[in-house]
Amino acid sequence: MKADPCACSDPTRHGRAFARRGLLAGGAGLLACAALPGGVPGLPRPALAADPHGPRTSLTPDQALELLKKGNDEYAHGQPFHGDINRERRIAIALAQAPFCVLVCCSDSRVPPELLFGRGLGELFIVRNAGNTVDTAALGSIEYAVGVLGVPLVMVLGHERCGAVAAAIEVVERNATFPGSIGPMVEPIVPAVLQARAQMGSGSGGDLLDRSVRANVRRIVARLPQQSAVLQGPMREGKLRIVGARYDLDDGDVDFFDS
């Protein structure tokens, strides 16, 4: 009788073969995982970097700002949206991005950045949170856009009747407290409220909420270069501008500060 070709005199042979196949599969998995942005958990990986030869916008800071102004003027006056959002554009930027503006804005659903500036896919690098504040994650995002992607313009955009700023006013005026992480979230806005209230007390008058919105924006704009050496170099060389603005919910108009 012929020996069964499937039979094995060594009971560990199939186990070793199985292990080899598992190792090969695992190696392929590691290679696939290494190709992902996060790399392989627990293993060293190269520092995050963009292709230095990749596309960058050719716009100057002033040209970038003019594009935003033009787009908002069209939006506020009800002109057709011209932002490039079609399939061809999506495919063209799938492997690389070259935005021309970092837009730090509020999470408010009534403030849609691309729409109110008439921009399309891949043009705005958006950092959003309630109250358009800049914490460590937001600052790192801004630095990445400027230092790696070569973005020439950073805009901090506040807006009319901002809920986060209103909450900070409640803290200042009534010593209010909020559940969860809402309190710590609005805490960075409190100095702007105090500044706005002091200006009103000196006889300048006006609405505390709107003054606080503007003061919050101006304070962030002034502090960004102080917080980041990554931003200081391009600013000295004239390759970067940091500006502030305030969006009006009623008429759709953006008031660009000092620009």
Find out whether 253 is annotated in a ligand binding site.
no
Residue with the bigger pLDDT between 11 and 170: it is 170
> Does any domain span residue 48?
no
> Does any domain span residue 5?
no
For the CA atoms of 134, 153, 243, 109, what is the dihedral angle to 10 degrees? -60
| 190-203 pLDDT per residue, tens | 999 999 999 988 66
Q: Looking at the structure, do residues 32 and 73 belong to the same domain, yes or no?
A: no
First to last CA, the chain: 95
Residue type at 137? Answer: A
For 66, the domain range is 61-256
Mean pLDDT in residue range 131-137? 98
> Does any domain span residue 125?
yes
> Does any domain span residue 31?
yes
> Does any domain span residue 56?
no
The pTM score is 0.79
Q: Looking at the structure, do residues 85 and 168 belong to the same domain, yes or no?
A: yes
Over 80: is that where the pLDDT of 248 sits?
yes
Assign 3-class secondary structure to the chain: CCCCCCCCCCCCHHHHHHHHHHHHHHHHHHHHHHCCCCCCCCCCCCCCCCCCCCCCCCCCHHHHHHHHHHHHHHHHCCCCCCCCCCHHHHHHCCCCCCCCEEEEECCCCCCCHHHHHCCCCCCEEEEECCCCCCCHHHHHHHHHHHHCCCCCEEEEEEECCCHHHHHHHHHHHHCCCCCCCHHHHHHHHHHHHHHHHHHHHHHHCCCHHHHHHHHHHHHHHHHHHHHCHHHHHHHHCCCCEEEEEEECCCCCCEEECCC
Q: Looking at the structure, do residues 65 and 126 belong to the same domain, yes or no?
A: yes
Residue 201: its pLDDT value, please?
A: 81
Q: Looking at the structure, do residues 76 and 200 belong to the same domain, yes or no?
A: yes
Residue 53: its pLDDT value, please?
A: 56
Q: Looking at the structure, do residues 37 and 80 belong to the same domain, yes or no?
A: no
Find out whether 82 is annotated in a ligand binding site.
no
- Longest CA pairwise span in the chain (Å): 110
Find out whether 101 is annotated in a ligand binding site.
no
Find out whether 159 is annotated in a ligand binding site.
yes
Q: Looking at the structure, do residues 15 and 96 belong to the same domain, yes or no?
A: no
> Does any domain span residue 52?
no
| 45-92 pLDDT per residue, tens | 333 444 555 789 999 999 999 999 999 999 999 999 999 999 999 999
Residue 33: its pLDDT value, please?
A: 37
Mean pLDDT in residue range 133-140? 98
Tally of domains in the chain: 2
CA dist 177 and 179 (Å) reads 7
CATH code, 136: 3.40.1050.10
Q: Looking at the structure, do residues 80 and 23 belong to the same domain, yes or no?
A: no
> Does any domain span residue 246?
yes
Q: Looking at the structure, do residues 138 and 77 belong to the same domain, yes or no?
A: yes
Over 50: is that where the pLDDT of 36 sits?
no
Q: Looking at the structure, do residues 159 and 247 belong to the same domain, yes or no?
A: yes
Nearest to 123 by CA among 78, 89, 147: 89
Residue 205: its pLDDT value, please?
A: 66
Q: Looking at the structure, do residues 129 and 207 belong to the same domain, yes or no?
A: yes
> Does any domain span residue 106?
yes
Q: Looking at the structure, do residues 155 and 239 belong to the same domain, yes or no?
A: yes
Q: Looking at the structure, do residues 24 and 83 belong to the same domain, yes or no?
A: no
